[in-house]
Amino acid sequence: MGRIPRSYLLNRVVTLLLTVWIAATLIWIIPRLSPVDPADIMLGRMAAGAGAVENADQILERLKANFGLNDPLVVQYVKYIRNVVIFDFGLSTATFPTQVSTLIARALPWTVGLMLLSVVITFFIGNALGALMAWDRSPKLVRVAIPAAMVFTSIPPILSGLLLMWILAAKLRWFPLTGAYGLTVEPGWTWGFVQSVIHHGFLPALSIVIVTFGFWALGMRGLMITVQGEDYVTLAKAKGLRPRYILYRYMIRNAILPQITAFALKIGLLVAGQVLVERIFAYNGMGKLLYDAILDQDFPVIQGVSFVIILMTAVSVFLVDLVYPFVDPRVRHDGGEA
Amino acid sequence: MNALNVTDLSIDFPTARGVVHALTDLSFSVARGRRLGIIGESGSGKTTTALAVMRMLASPGFVSGGSIRLADLNVLALPEEEMRRARLRRVSYIPQGAMNSLNPVMRVKDQLKDAIVTHEGRTEREVLRTRIEDAFAGVGLPEHVGSLYPHELSGGMKQRVCIALGVILNPELIIADEPTSALDVVTQRQVMQTLKDVQQGIGAALILIGHDMGLMAQSVDELVVLKDGILVEHGDMRRVIVNPRHPYTRELVASVPLVGGESFLGNSSVVPDVARPREGLPLLEFENVHKDYGGITALHPMSFSLCGDEPRIISIVGQSGSGKSTMGSIMLGFNPPSKGRVLFEGQDVAGMSPLQLWDFRKNVQAVFQDPYACFNPFYRVDHALSFPFRRFGYATSDAQVQDSMHEACRAVGLDPALILRRYPHELSGGQRQRLIVARALMLNPKLLIADEPVSMVDASLRATILKNIYDLKDRHGISIFYITHDLATAYHVSDFVMVLYKGQVVEAGPPKEVIGDPQHPYTQLLIASIPWPDPDRDWGGTTTAAEDIAALDASDRDALTVFRGDVPGFRLDVGA
């Protein structure tokens, strides 16, 4: 243990860069295999707006030139990679001529704020409940109530979201129906705005939590049952340690290790996973951006959002790789398990 | 006053198929300073007794009668909180699975610290530190071990940590549940003697649970023999071993294979009924095979050639870490040598075509140590037996497959009607191990690599399984490499013995010479470490064991191999 050796760090960084590069390349290749031409779509949209477009062929040519579609593929690819490095994904075709990076920058804080918070909360609640379900000293009520609560896990998020909206927003009027903040407040670092954001974020967050906590709880329960049978837990009891101490330091501490890895993967997927939640709550985050972009066949935005998703996954896995040896001493920095 | 009084103790396990009586009317007592052994096979109720004394019986087991008194404490009537406080402080438990008994994510010293602090409250840091250091010193562990994590310790070291933990609060009673079953003989002797020393040092009573009569003879004063949860014999250890009254005790004493003495294999003058025409090339050859793992030498260069005209059993003996299993996996082609070549019938194993490899796999079979891990739990036994049989093209019809399976089962003493339709988890360890032998037998290989085939089965079964393996050579003409740390069995089954120490063959020759009259200090140490079921035989004190090892380490590393004679059909060369 101790400090992370340079070779290990280098290894991880190279892996990270390689992953991101391969992903960026795939994102570039896949739309090019599609028969749909984004320039055609833009023209179609213009036609729909103005009735008819003069000089359609010229405009099409200009657009293709602007998007660099007339260049040889190699040139397009090199340009693309150079732009990716500075997070430049070009212009959105649906909301032309907005920069894709601007759209993402606008949506990202909302998603990261809401999603990250709800994923973290879910992780803690789910694992705590899972541990309690498996612990032989939990009160009976806990062991009956939690599995009952798991029913929510089997409800699709879209349904539970609607259910929560109907009960808590439409009927009880405790929370607003949709949006990320009230229409009457001015965005900024004011108390009123923060309050409004929390108020608006509560329902979507809750719908994510109740739908996904079961994933963690069931996983944790299984891990706890395995750990409960380990010899070191038997010896801990024979040492006369207090049951609670055994629960924390001997059982949860060991059972949680695989969950941490799963957590890293979840963080990366949180954007993609909660598209529908953002959609039904009209929450202007990355999920909604992606959803709209797919409907509009807005390739630059789809590419940009996909890239951000991959980047988040890769970075969170990278971070867990760095942290893991400190949580589990058996994982040595030279990569192998002891 | 006795440290422990157990009176008429009965323990039941209600199961779906009815109540299982794990223990029936067991009574015994042990005084402070004395050592009591509880011996029996797996399932005899030994560990159940230990857990009952700790009041840690696993659900659904419960005490259905009797009493347990720990000096003045009535264990069965104590409130839970008081029982918790009594654990470790009054009675400590040294568990069986030393490999896995320490929390993998905590430093070793912290696992002693939490025990002290729980029982004695906040203690000054300096005091804690010295106490833990003293505890480690008491079991012969260097100081720095405390800052390590469990995975950084060897099995023997982990077991010492458990002993240090067991005595740190000076309990009146120590229960050690097979504390050395996962260790090799040399380490076993050291650990056992450490345990005896610290027990005498604090004057506690010791209950030693085990299945090895030899270990009992060298370690305890009094012996309780359990069979199916019933005490069959109880008395002074010397009396029980020298003059056993119950037939089961006699069987246990007799089942310990001895170096010298009578062979447990019986008369073995059967002529092989399979004649193996040879095409002149040796069956298996090592050509200067050398293995290292990242600069650490696991196996020094060695060459041998097993001709295979006549079946031979070659034993490879040594402690854990001596390189014997590495040798086995190299022979099986699972582990390519760093240098040198492994030849099977003249063909380099590393350069085989898929077809040749298929033929190699068919002809070279393996029996591994862990009979639990060798079966896919999802398939019934008949599938496990018939799959490789069909795969290797032996099957001509379903009836013939059935016949072969039945024949193989009977050859290893199992009733095919009872066994074949079962799942592996419904069988005992001994049954599974015999099935693995049966599976190998069905494929009619030319060579069998048996890596510790009996180290995980009860003593009374060892002889049977070894007999099964021996029959492979005798009746079926199969040559065998027998990899083991058990010199007594190697003495009886093998034609040739190689003693491996730190990856080097230190002594080799026929077993009567090598094991019967060892010349190399390492072989001598191995023999001296075997616990004999003879109370009068000196096992040496703690210092002897340590001195022997120190002497060995000091001795010339590059000393030449001691060759003690040859056996036709096998040739060994050591060194490049």
B555 pLDDT band, cuts 50/70/90, is: low
Q: What is the pLDDT of residue A1?
A: 43
**pLDDT surpassing 90 at residue B84:** yes
Nearest CA-CA distance, residue A77 and chain B, Å: 42
Confidence of residue A213 (pLDDT cuts 50, 70, 90): confident
Q: Is B176 on the interface with A (CB under 8 A)?
A: no
- State how far residue B114 is from chain A, nearest Cα, in angstroms: 8
**Is the pLDDT score of A107 beyond 90?**
no
Segment A294-329, tens digit of pLDDT: 888 888 888 888 888 888 888 888 988 888 888 888
CB atoms under 10 Å from CB of A115, counted, come to 26
Kindly tell me the number of DSSP H helices and DSSP E strands found in chain B: 20, 22
Judge: B106–A249 Cβ closer than 8 Å, yes or no: yes
Separation in Å, CA of A233 to nearest CA in chain B: 8
No. of helices (H) and no. of strands (E), chain A? 16, 0
> With contacts defined as CB-CB under 8 Å, which chain B residues touch A239?
87-88, 114-115, 118, 165
**Strand pairing partners for B7?**
B67
Position A241 scores a pLDDT of 95
Instruction: Return the number of other C-beta atoms located less than 10 Å from residue B249's C-beta.
Output: 21
Q: With residue B483 as reference, give the H or E element that holds it.
A: strand B479-484
d(CA B47, CA B56): 11
pLDDT value at position B406? 92
- Candidates B87, B105, B151; nearest CB to A238: B87
Q: What is the mean pLDDT of residues B42-70?
A: 90
Quote the CA–CA distance of B390 and A68 in Å, as a whole number: 62
Judge whether B4 is closer than 8 Å to chain A, CB to CB. no
Query: Using 50, 70 and 90 to split pLDDT, how confident is the model at B32?
Result: very high
Taking CA–CA distances from B53, the nearest residue in chain A reads A238
The better pLDDT of the pair A64, B26 is held by B26
- pLDDT category at A338 given cuts 50, 70, 90 is very low
CB-based contact A254:B104 (threshold 8 Å): yes
State the Cα–Cα distance between residues B520 and B200, nearest whole angstrom: 34
Share of chain B above pLDDT 90, in %: 40
Helix, strand, coil % over all residues of chain B, rounded to 5: 40, 25, 35
Residue B310: which of B270, B345, B275 has the closest Cα?
A: B275
Whether the CB of B88 is below 8 Å from some CB of chain A: the reply is yes
pLDDT of res. B155: 80
Mean pLDDT computed over A54-64: 75
Report the range of poorest mean pLDDT among A195-204, B184-193, B358-367, B539-548: B539-548
Q: Which domains does chain B have, with CATH numbers?
A: 2-254 (3.40.50.300), 284-520+559-574 (3.40.50.300)
Q: In whole angstroms, what is the distance from residue A216 CA to residue A224 CA?
A: 12
Give the pLDDT confidence of A108-139 residue by residue, as tens digits. 888 888 877 888 889 999 999 999 988 888 88
Which residue's entry shows tokens 């007999």? B467
Residue B276: the pLDDT is: 53
Are B87 and A239 a contacting pair at CB < 8 A?
yes
Cross-chain CB nearest to B84 (options A240, A328, A330): A240
Phi, psi (deg, nearest 5) at residue B91 = -135, 130
The per-residue pLDDT for A145 is 77
Rounded mean pLDDT of chain B?
Answer: 86
- Which string of b and e fits A293-319 if b means at least 16 CB within 10 Å? beebbbbbbbbbbbbbbbbbbbbbbbe
Q: Which residue in A239, A245, A328 is closest to B105 by CB distance?
A: A328
The residue with tokens 């042990």 is B30
Substitution target from A225, A232, A250 for chain B, most B beta carbons within 10 A: A232
Chain B residues touching residue A241 (CB < 8 angstroms): 114-115, 118
Mean pLDDT of the B26-37 span: 95
Cis peptide before B371 (omega within 30 of 0): no
Alpha-carbon distance B288 to nearest alpha carbon in chain A (angstroms): 30
A254:B105 CB<8 A? yes
**pLDDT given at position B44:** 87
Distance separating alpha carbons of residues B169 and B116, to the nearest angstrom? 7
User: CB distance from B115 to chain A under 8 Å?
Assistant: yes
Asked if B440 and B412 touch (Cβ cutoff 8 Å), the reply is: no
Instruction: Identify the band that residue B576 occupies on the pLDDT scale cut at 50, 70 and 90.
Output: very low
Least confident of A247-261, B172-186, B331-345: B172-186
Q: How far apart are CA B357 and CA B345, in angstroms?
A: 12
Using a CB–CB cutoff of 8 Å, tell me whether B296 touches chain A: no
Q: Do A254 and B87 touch (CB under 8 A)?
A: no
Mean pLDDT, residues A232-261: 93
Q: What pLDDT sits at residue A73? A: 84
Least confident of A17-26, A114-123, A222-231, B158-167: A114-123
Q: Write down the pLDDT at residue A250.
A: 95
pLDDT at A16: 92
Torsion of CA B159, B163, B165, B166, to 10 degrees: 130
Q: How many CB pairs under 8 A join A and B?
A: 79
Nearest Cβ partner for B119 among A234, A240, A253: A240
How is residue B391 written in tokens?
Answer: 């795969």
Q: How far is B104 from chain A (nearest CA, A)?
A: 7
The answer to whether residue B411 scores a pLDDT higher than 90 is: no
Q: Which two tokens stand for residue B69?
A: 């008194």
ipTM surpasses 0.85: no
- What residues contact residue A144 under an 8 Å CB cut-off, 6+ apart? none
Q: How far is A239 from chain B (nearest CA, A)?
A: 5
Chain A residues touching residue B95 (CB < 8 angstroms): 231, 234-235, 238
Q: Are A308 and A89 in contact (CB under 8 A)?
A: no
CB distance B71 to B2 below 8 Å: yes
Residue of A nearest to B87 (CA): A240
Which among B207, B212, B166, B205 is positioned nearest to B189, based on CA atoms?
A: B212
Nearest to A239 among B104, B106, B115 (CB): B115
Candidate from B54, B95, B165 with C-beta closest to A231 = B95
Do residues B503 and B293 touch, judged by C-beta distance below 8 A? no
* The pLDDT value given to residue A69: 72
- B474-493 pLDDT tens trace: 888 889 999 988 888 899 88
User: Does residue B540 have a pLDDT over 80?
Assistant: no
Q: How many other C-beta atoms lie within 10 A of the C-beta of residue B183? A: 23
Q: Is B102 on the interface with A (CB under 8 A)?
A: yes
How many angstroms separate the Cα of A197 from the Cα of each of A179, A191, B41, B312?
Answer: 9, 10, 68, 81
B260 pLDDT higher than 90: no
For residue B375, how far is the Cα from the chain centroid?
20
Nearest to B88 among A240, A249, A338 (CB): A240
Please state, in angstroms and rounded to a whole number, the distance separating the CA atoms of residues A311 and A318: 10
Q: How far is B179 from chain A (nearest CA, A)?
A: 13
More confident residue, B201 or B457: B201
Average pLDDT (A151-174) is 81
| B274 vs A99: CA distance, rounded Å | 83
Please give the share of chain A, as a percent, with pLDDT higher than 90.
16
Task: Identify the closest residue of chain A to B162 by CA–CA distance.
Answer: A235
Cβ of B104 within 8 Å of Cβ of A329? The answer is yes
* Separation of alpha carbons B532 and B214, rounded Å: 4
* Alpha carbon distances (Å) from B483 to A195, B498, B520: 72, 10, 19
- Condensed to tens digits (0 to 9), the pLDDT of residues B359-379 reads 999 999 998 877 777 888 889
**A281 pLDDT tier (thresholds 50, 70, 90):** confident
Task: Give chain B positions within 8 Å (CB) of A136.
Answer: 59
Share of chain B above pLDDT 70, in %: 94
Across the interface, do A241 and B85 touch by the CB < 8 Å criterion?
no
Give the distance, in angstroms, between the CA of residue B160 and the centroid of all CA atoms in the same chain. Answer: 18
Contact at 8 Å (CB) between B422 and B380? Answer: yes
Place of tokens 């101490």: A245
Contacts of A230 in chain B (CB under 8 A): 100
Nearest Cβ partner for B101 among A235, A249, A257? A235
Rounded Cα distance, A66 and A79, in Å: 13
Residue of B nearest to A325 (CA): B105
Q: Which of B54, B93, B115 sits opposite A241 (nearest CB)?
A: B115
Q: Which of B85-110 are b and which e, b meaning 16 or more Cβ less than 10 Å from the residue's Cβ?
A: ebbbbbbbbbbbbbbbbbbbbbbbbb
Determine the distance in angstroms separating the CA of B422 from the nearest CA of chain A, rounded to an integer: 25
Neighbours of B346 (CB within 10 A): 11
Cβ of A239 and B118 within 8 Å? yes
What pLDDT, on the 0 to 100 scale, is given for residue A335? 41
Most confident of A308-317, B65-74, B464-473: B65-74
Predicted confidence band at A337 (pLDDT cuts at 50, 70, 90)?
A: very low
If pLDDT is split at 50, 70 and 90, which confidence band does A186 have?
Answer: confident
Q: In this complex, do B102 and A235 lie within 8 Å of one another by their Cβ atoms?
A: yes
Q: How far apart are CA B472 and CA B470, in angstroms?
A: 5
Q: Cβ distance A236 to A246 under 8 Å? A: yes
Q: How confident is the model at residue B29, as a pLDDT?
A: 95
Chain A residues with CB under 8 Å of B151 CB are 329-330, 338
Q: Tell me the one-letter amino acid at A266.
A: K
- Would the CB atoms of B105 and A245 count as touching at under 8 Å? no
Bridge pairing between strands B284-293 and B562-563: unpaired
CA distance, residue A17 to nearest chain B CA (Å): 28
Q: What CA–CA distances, in Å, run from B472 to B267, B309, B458, B477?
A: 15, 15, 21, 6
pLDDT (0 to 100) of residue B188 = 86
pLDDT confidence of residue A330: 82
Runs of H (alpha helix) within B413-541: 416-419, 429-442, 459-476, 487-493, 511-514, 521-529
Binary contact (B100, A232; C-beta < 8 A): yes
pLDDT of residue A277: 79
| Residues present in chain A in total | 338
pLDDT at B111 over 60: yes
Q: Is the predicted pLDDT of residue A220 greater than 90, yes or no?
A: yes
Distance CA B518, CA B341 (A): 31
Cβ distance B104 to A238 less than 8 Å, yes or no, reads: no
What's the pLDDT at B109? 93
Show residues of chain B in contact with A338, CB under 8 Å: 151-152
* Binary contact (A239, B149; C-beta < 8 A): no
State the nearest Cα–Cα gap between B291 and chain A, in angstroms. Answer: 20
Contact B476, B442 (CB under 8 A): no
pLDDT score for B262: 65
* Amino acid B403: pLDDT: 92
Largest CA distance in chain B: 77
Of B59 and B46, which is predicted with more confidence? B46
Q: What is the mean pLDDT of residues A259-279?
A: 79
- Residue B310, pLDDT above cutoff 60: yes
Please tell me the distance from the alpha carbon of residue A143 to that of residue A148, in angstroms, as a whole number. Answer: 9
Which position has the token pair 């095409």?
Answer: B279
Closest chain A C-alpha to B424 CA, distance in angstroms: 21
Which residues does chain A have within 8 Å of residue B118's beta carbon, measured at their own beta carbons? 239-242, 245
Test the B interface: residue of A135, A136, A235 with most B CBs within 10 Å: A235
Report the half-sphere exposure of B266 (CA within 13 A, side-chain side): 9
B165 touches chain A (CB under 8 A): yes
**CB-facing half-sphere around the CA of B154: CA atoms within 13 A:** 12
Q: Are the beta carbons of B93 and B54 closer than 8 angstroms?
A: yes
Look at the block and give the residue holding tokens 């494929």: B443
- The pLDDT of B558-570, averaged and rounded, is 78
